[in-house]
């Protein structure tokens, strides 16, 4: 196969971000843009050159190798199973599904054909600042990391929360609240740097009446290697101050990832830190497609297998449990 013929299933808010990122995956052609809402399918088709289709079934007649599933969480399982059945390589947006039983069904369906790639498209895996920070840490720039901090306090963007009927406000459709949804992009980098999370303790709250799940999370995570991190994610009600996305503290210094995309190294040379890298979160989406393309066309292993993403779901769920029990909760049962 020379080029990858991709169908984009779900032409909503995130699809335009992916369409832009796909321009950096030079061997992938968008052949179909699929959405039951015709104007959304047509809009994405006009951006990508694909054909607008009303359903995955219709699009399959065009000849697809792979699909990108960019639909609300409660539709992930149905469309993933339909795609596997049709022999597609599949890139599925996070989280894999709304609950672990559904994730297991997806994983076992994917495992039936090992010649096909199944990617769980967690873009934080390819976040350039995180990759730069991890490299520095691996090189010993701040010594042994003993603690870290991840912070995300952001208002609801209109594109993702268009109105009070948004599926994100329904616990059934979304599978929870911000811990699972936005939180996964902050939990993944912590896991990439510090390893697996054993147990968590947290408080959760609801700042938005219309949202059934939590919109406030403050938590502590304990990792298998003995380190701890704080992880906070809040769907802001008002204006917010700029805080770093991440801070890693080691025995020799610190690394901070700012919201402006800088990676600052504090190693005692400059009290304001030295900017060692400047990246852009938006480039993480291109990373998704470059990795997927290389896995499908060149047989390269994915940076992270789909199963790995269960760590974000389990961590989010354990934090929510801890919010009720007021106890430390184990992530892996
Ligand atoms: N990685 C990120 O940064 C990020 C950001 C936002 C959303 N997401 C994820 O992307 C996914 C979609 O989120 P969104 O914000 O774009 O949602 P959205 O509601 O804006 O778009 C979803 C689209 O799916 C369409 N759809 C529904 N049923 C369909 C079907 N059977 N076939 C084809 N299309 C169908 C809807 O009509 C809608 O246009 C979710 O998994 C979400 O968590 C990821």
Residue ending a domain, choose from 121, 150, 165: 121
The CATH number given to whatever domain includes residue 109 is 3.40.50.720
Beta-carbon contacts of 223 under 8 Å, excluding residues fewer than 6 positions away, are 194, 195, 196, 197, 198, 229
Does the CB atom of residue 36 touch ligand 1 within 6 A? Answer: yes
**pLDDT bucket at 158, cuts 50 / 70 / 90:** very high
Q: Residue 118 phi/psi, 5° resolution?
A: -120, 110
10: Cα within 13 Å, side-chain hemisphere: 21
Domain boundary among 121, 150, 171: 121
Which of 13, 130, 161 gets mutated to test ligand 1 (max ligand atoms within 8 A of its CB)? 13
Distance from C-alpha of 211 to C-alpha of 171, rounded to nearest angstrom:
8
Counted domains in the chain: 2
173 and 271 assigned to the same domain? yes
Specify whether 318 is located in the same domain as 176.
yes
Q: Specify if 186 maps to a domain.
A: yes
- Same domain for 136 and 107: no
Give the Cα separation of 92 and 69 in Å (integer): 5
Q: Report H helices in 32-183.
A: 38-48, 56-60, 76-85, 100-111, 128-138, 171-174
Residue 73 counted as domain residue: yes
- Flag whether 287 is in a domain: no
Average pLDDT over residues 185-198: 98
d(CA 251, CA 242): 26
Q: Are residues 112 and 179 in the same domain?
A: no
Which numbered atom of ligand 1 lies nearest the CA of 40?
39
Q: Is the CB of 73 under 6 A from ligand 1?
A: yes
Centre of ligand 1 to C-alpha 7, Å, is: 14
Residue 304 lies in a domain: no
pTM for the predicted model, two decimal places: 0.98
Per-residue pLDDT, 39: 98
Q: State which ligand 1 atom lies nearest to the alpha carbon of 15.
A: 16
Q: What is the mean pLDDT of residues 273-283?
A: 97
Task: Kindly state whether residue 184 falls inside one of the protein's structural domains.
Answer: yes
* Residue 21 within a domain: yes
Please indicate, yes or no, if residue 298 is contained in any of the structural domains: no
Same domain, 90 and 14: yes
Residue 160 has what pLDDT? Answer: 94
* Cβ atoms < 10 Å from Cβ of 116: 17
Q: Ligand 1 centroid vs 222 CA: distance in angstroms? A: 32
- The pLDDT of residue 333 is 81
Q: Residue 156 gets which letter from DSSP?
A: -
Domain that residue 253 falls in = 125-281+313-330
Q: To test ligand 1's pocket by mutation, which of 14, 33, 79, 82 has the most ligand atoms within 8 angstroms of CB?
A: 14
CA–CA gap between residue 28 and residue 290 (Å, rounded): 9
Residue 247: per-residue pLDDT: 98
Sign for the CA dihedral angle at 166, 107, 186, 175 comes to positive
Same domain, 115 and 179: no
Asked whether the predicted pLDDT for residue 2 surpasses 80, the reply is no
- Interatomic CA distance for residues 149 and 267, integer angstroms: 18
Residues 115 and 147 in one domain: no
Helix 13-22 with 283-298: angle, nearest 10 deg: 60
Res 1 pLDDT > 80: no
- Domain with residue 231: its CATH number is 3.30.360.10
Point out which residues pair with 151 in neighbouring strands. 232
Ligand 1 within 6 A of CB of 82: no
Which residue's CA is the nearest one to ligand 1's atom 21? 12
| Ligand 1 and 72: CB distance under 6 A | yes
Each residue's pLDDT tens digit, 60-73: 999 999 999 999 99
Same domain, 114 and 129: no
Q: Is residue 320 part of a domain?
A: yes
pLDDT in tens, 230-252: 999 999 999 999 999 999 999 99
Averaged pLDDT for residues 35-61: 98
Q: Which of 90, 121, 152 lies at the terminal end of a domain, its last residue?
A: 121
* C-alpha–C-alpha distance, residues 8 and 28, integer Å: 12
Residue with tokens 């399982």: 77
Q: Are residues 92 and 136 in the same domain?
A: no
Give the tens place of pLDDT for each residue, 285-327.
Answer: 999 999 999 999 999 999 999 999 999 999 999 999 999 999 9
Co-location of 98 and 157 in the same domain: no
Out of 35, 291, 306, give the residue to mutate to test ligand 1, the one with the largest number of ligand atoms within 8 Å of its CB: 35
pLDDT of residue 292: 98
Find out whether the beta carbon of 282 lies less than 6 Å from any atom of ligand 1.
Answer: no
320 and 176 in contact (C-beta within 8 Å)?
yes
Same domain, 14 and 108: yes
Q: Report the pLDDT averaged over residues 185-197.
A: 98
- 61 and 43, same structural domain? yes
| Burial category of 4 from C-beta neighbours within 10 Å (exposed 0-12, middle 13-18, buried 19 and up) | buried
């Amino acid at each position: 196969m020379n080029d990858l013929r991709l169908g984009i299933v779900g032409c909503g808010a995130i699809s335009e971000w992916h369409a832009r990122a796909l321009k950096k995956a030079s061997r992938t052609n968008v052949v179909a843009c699929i959405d039951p809402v015709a104007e959304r399918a047509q809009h994405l088709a006009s951006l990508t050159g694909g054909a607008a289709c009303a359903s995955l079934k219709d699009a399959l007649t065009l000849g697809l190798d792979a699909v990108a599933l960019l639909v609300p969480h409660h539709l992930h399982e149905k469309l993933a199973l339909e795609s596997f059945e049709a022999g597609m390589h599949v890139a599925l947006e996070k989280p894999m599904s709304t609950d672990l039983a559904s994730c297991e069904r997806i994983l076992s369906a994917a495992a039936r054909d090992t010649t096909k790639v199944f990617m769980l498209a967690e873009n934080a895996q390819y976040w350039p600042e995180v990759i730069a920070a991890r490299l520095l840490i691996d090189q010993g720039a701040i010594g042994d990391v003993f603690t870290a901090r991840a912070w995300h306090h952001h208002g609801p963007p209109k594109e993702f929360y268009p109105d009070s009927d948004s599926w994100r406000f329904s616990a059934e459709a979304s599978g929870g609240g911000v811990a699972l949804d936005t939180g996964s992009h902050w939990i993944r980098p912590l896991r990439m740097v510090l390893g697996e999370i054993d147990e968590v303790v947290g408080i959760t709250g609801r700042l938005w009446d219309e949202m059934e799940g939590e919109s406030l999370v403050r938590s502590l995570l304990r990792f298998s290697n003995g380190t701890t991190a704080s992880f906070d994610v809040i769907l802001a009600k008002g204006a917010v101050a700029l805080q770093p996305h991440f801070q890693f503290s080691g025995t020799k210094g610190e690394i901070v990832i700012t919201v402006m995309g800088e990676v600052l190294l504090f190693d005692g040379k400059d009290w304001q830190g030295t900017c060692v890298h400047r990246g852009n979160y938006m480039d993480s989406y291109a990373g998704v497609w470059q990795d997927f393309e290389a896995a499908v066309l060149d047989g390269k292993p994915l940076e992270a297998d789909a199963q790995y993403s269960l760590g974000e779901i389990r961590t989010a769920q354990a934090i929510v449990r801890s919010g009720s029990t007021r106890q430390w909760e184990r992530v892996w049962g």
